[in-house]
Structure 1
Amino acid sequence: MYVCICNAIREKDLRTAARCCGGSAESVYAALGHTPQCCQCLEEAEDIISEETMASSASLSVAA
């Protein structure tokens, strides 16, 4: 599924980038070589990034 139509960013790509670099939607988009255009996707992108950040933190806590 596409999260950002303007930049053709798929959910799986956004999740992968979020796990690697985290941060705000803008920073994750930058890691993918894009910038937000119309900004209609930012709320959903932030939710996905937050999910990945929490999942990453949880897996680190379990491993420790």
Structure 2
Amino acid sequence: MYVCICNAIRETELRCAARRCRGSAEAIYGSLGRAPQCRQCLDEAEDIIADELSSNGMGISATA
């Protein structure tokens, strides 16, 4: 499933990047060499990132 249509970022790609790079959706998009465009995907992306981090026991930093 695509999370970000503008950048063609799939959920699996986002989850993999979240395991490698900590931070907000914008930071993780940056690690993929992309930037949010229309920004409609950011809430869903943040939820997916939080889910990925919690399921891997990484937790989320309050400053992330």
Give the secondary-structure state (helix, strand or coil) at the position aligned to 2:52: helix
TM-score (structure 2 length as normaliser): 0.86
| Per-residue Cα deviation, 1:16-52 (whole angstroms, up to 9, x for no partner) | 0001112100010001110000000000000000011
Q: Secondary structure at the match of 1:53?
A: helix
Percent identity among equivalent residues?
64
Match of 2:39 in 1: 39
CA contact (8 A) 1:22 1:49 kept: no
Give the letter for the 2:4 counterpart.
Answer: C
TM-score normalised over the length of structure 1:
0.86
Unaligned 5+ segments in structure 2 are 59-64
Q: Residue 45 of structure 1 aligns to a residue in which SS?
A: helix
Q: Which structure has more helix as a fraction of its residues?
A: 1
Give the 5 Å matches for 1:1-64. 1-57=1-57
The one-letter amino acid paired with 2:39 is C
Report the number of matched residues: 58
Q: RMSD over aligned Cα, in angstroms?
A: 1.0
For the residues of structure 1 that align with 2:22 and 2:50, how far apart are their CA atoms?
8
Q: Distance in 2 between matches of 1:39 and 1:52?
A: 20
